[in-house]
Amino acid sequence: MEKIGYCEIKGFKLSRKSKKAVSDIRSIMKQGNLFTSAVSTVPLFQIFASPSVTSSPFEMGITITEYDWEMFGRAMTSSTRIVRGEIFKIAYRQEIFTNGNEQKFWRCVSEASK
């Protein structure tokens, strides 16, 4: 029995097309993680490795407090939203073009990725 959160689907096997879709979703998730990691290092580089920052702890403190942390937070949230949107597109397409338990599976995935 496979279970995804609130979805319970008993005994089914994915078709070849669904296996390809799962592979595509894994790739999107991996790329999303890489993007999020890259975005998360930007403030560290700008604060600690930027040529405009001197070695003075006082000036480094000013740079940290002046950094646009709100924009950074929005960027981090957006990357998650983009990944979920891409997963939803794949899952919804699979939901439309499958039937039975396989369709139930893709409906669960698309609902979870909204």
Give the number of domains in the chain: 1
Instruction: Calculate the alpha carbon distances from 96 to 92, 103, 104, 110 in Å.
Output: 6, 7, 10, 11
Task: Judge whether 77 lies within some domain.
Answer: yes
Total residues found in the chain within this entry:
114
Tokens of 44: 């560290």
Q: Which residues, listed in sequence order, are joined to residue 3 by a DSSP beta bridge?
A: 8
Task: Judge whether 52 lies within some domain.
Answer: yes
User: Is the per-residue pLDDT at 3 higher than 50?
Assistant: no
Task: Judge whether 2 lies within some domain.
Answer: no
State which of 34-43, 54-63, 102-111 shows the largest mean pLDDT.
102-111
Task: Judge whether 106 lies within some domain.
Answer: yes
Q: Which domain holds residue 101?
A: 13-112
pLDDT in tens, 55-93: 555 555 555 566 666 776 777 777 788 899 999 999 999
Task: Judge whether 6 lies within some domain.
Answer: no
Task: Judge whether 105 lies within some domain.
Answer: yes
Task: Judge whether 82 lies within some domain.
Answer: yes
pLDDT in tens, 5-32: 567 777 778 899 999 999 999 999 999 8
Task: Judge whether 35 lies within some domain.
Answer: yes
pLDDT in tens, 63-73: 556 666 677 67
Q: By the 8 A CB rule, do 110 and 91 touch? A: yes
